[in-house]
């Protein structure tokens, strides 16, 4: 295992994929840690990027895993985002990894809500830029069917649009990691445990390749 992230403190914030211990938060935290980073990971279900600028309640839960501590899951009134400014001040990260994509996909609509997405994304990237912290934005994985209305065609188009608007963050295109039907989902959007483990390794490799100089 390479140690390309040795000496770095990494802050990860994400959507529902990061909001349950059995989802992405655990394997991604572990994969980044194995590459030498000190990792602080936070997730909040169902909330778009701009909701990480202030404390916003998540009706479907949140989670966190700080450094070597256990994953803590929160539900009900306790489930919420933690404002980026607070996290940045407490963690003082060398790198921010954002895994907020599917929460803004709006897959049931015929068209990608580009104007709204641009507002959401740039609100967060502006705050990250002002904190003078390098960042990496992770795009959505493949998925299709289920109650979220996700489709392979829409994921591809959405990922391409996200890649155009996340600067100054570097973009990680998750659709390049595997073929559309390779990683099954449990509901059309959230992956199985094996899928999350594979996605986490791919993300960690991509992040390590983009280590800040």
Q: Quick one: average pLDDT of 159-184? A: 96
- Indicate whether 60 belongs to any domain: yes
| Residues 212 and 8: beta-carbon distance below 8 Å | yes
Sheet containing strand 9-14, strands side by side = 72-74, 62-66, 38-44, 9-14, 95-99, 135-138, 170-172
At a CB cut-off of 8 Å and minimum separation 6, what does 16 contact? 23, 43, 45, 46, 60, 102, 103, 189, 190
pLDDT for the residue numbered 181? 87
Q: Rounded mean pLDDT of the chain?
A: 96
pLDDT for the residue numbered 4? 92
pLDDT for the residue numbered 1? 58
- Indicate whether 107 belongs to any domain: yes
Residue-wise pLDDT tens digits, 95-135: 999 999 999 999 999 999 999 999 999 999 999 999 999 99
Q: Quick one: average pLDDT of 172-192? A: 95
Give the long-range contacts of residues 18-22, CB within 8 A, separation 24 or more.
18/42, 18/43, 18/44, 18/63, 18/99, 19/43, 19/44, 19/45, 19/58, 19/60, 19/61, 19/62, 19/63, 19/73, 19/79, 20/45, 20/61, 20/63, 20/73, 21/63, 21/71, 21/73, 22/193, 22/196
Whichever domain contains 50, its CATH number is 3.40.50.1110
Q: Is 6 helix (H, G, I), strand (E, B) or coil?
A: coil
Q: How confident is the model at residue 54 (pLDDT cuts 50, 70, 90)?
A: very high
- Indicate whether 7 belongs to any domain: no
pLDDT for the residue numbered 77? 80
Axis crossing angle, helix 193-209 with helix 25-34, rounded to the nearest 10:
40
pLDDT for the residue numbered 148? 94
Q: Quick one: average pLDDT of 29-37? A: 98
Express as a percent the part of the chain with pLDDT over 90. 93
Is the peptide bond preceding residue 168 cis, with omega within 30 degrees of 0? Answer: yes
Q: Is the pLDDT of residue 201 over 70?
A: yes
Looking at the 3D structure of the chain, how many domains does it have? 1
CA 14 to the chain's CA centroid? 4
Cα separation, 101 vs 104, in Å, equals 6
- Indicate whether 6 belongs to any domain: no
CA 117 to the chain's CA centroid? 15
Q: Quick one: average pLDDT of 24-47? A: 98
- Indicate whether 147 belongs to any domain: yes
- Indicate whether 212 belongs to any domain: no
- Indicate whether 3 belongs to any domain: no
Q: Which two tokens stand for residue 134?
A: 């390098």
* Residue-number span of the structural domain to which 141 is assigned: 14-207
Q: Which of 74-78, 91-95, 157-161 has the lowest mean pLDDT?
A: 74-78
- Indicate whether 47 belongs to any domain: yes
At a CB cut-off of 8 Å and minimum separation 6, what does 76 contact? none
Q: Kindly report the pTM of this predicted structure.
A: 0.97
């Amino acid at each position: 295992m390479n140690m390309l992230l040795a000496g770095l403190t990494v802050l990860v914030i994400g959507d529902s994929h990061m909001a349950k211990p059995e989802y992405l938060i655990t394997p991604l935290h572990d994969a980044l840690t194995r590459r030498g980073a000190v990792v602080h990971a936070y997730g909040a279900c169902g909330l778009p990027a701009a909701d990480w600028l202030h404390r916003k309640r998540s009706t479907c839960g949140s989670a966190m895993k700080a450094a070597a501590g256990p994953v803590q899951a929160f539900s009900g009134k306790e489930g919420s985002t933690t404002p980026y400014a607070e996290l940045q001040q407490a963690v003082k990260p060398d790198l921010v990894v954002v895994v907020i994509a599917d929460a803004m996909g709006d897959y049931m609509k015929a068209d990608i809500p580009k104007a709204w997405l641009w507002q959401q994304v740039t609100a967060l990237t502006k705050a990250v830029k002002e904190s003078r912290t390098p960042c990496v934005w992770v795009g959505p994985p493949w998925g299709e069917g289920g109650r979220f209305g996700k489709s392979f065609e829409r994921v591809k188009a959405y990922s391409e649009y996200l890649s155009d608007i996340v600067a100054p963050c570097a973009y990680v295109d998750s659709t390049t990691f595997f073929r559309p039907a390779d990683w099954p989902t449990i509901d059309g959007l959230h992956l199985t445990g094996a899928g999350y483990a594979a996605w986490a390794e791919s993300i960690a490799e991509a992040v390590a390749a983009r280590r800040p100089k």
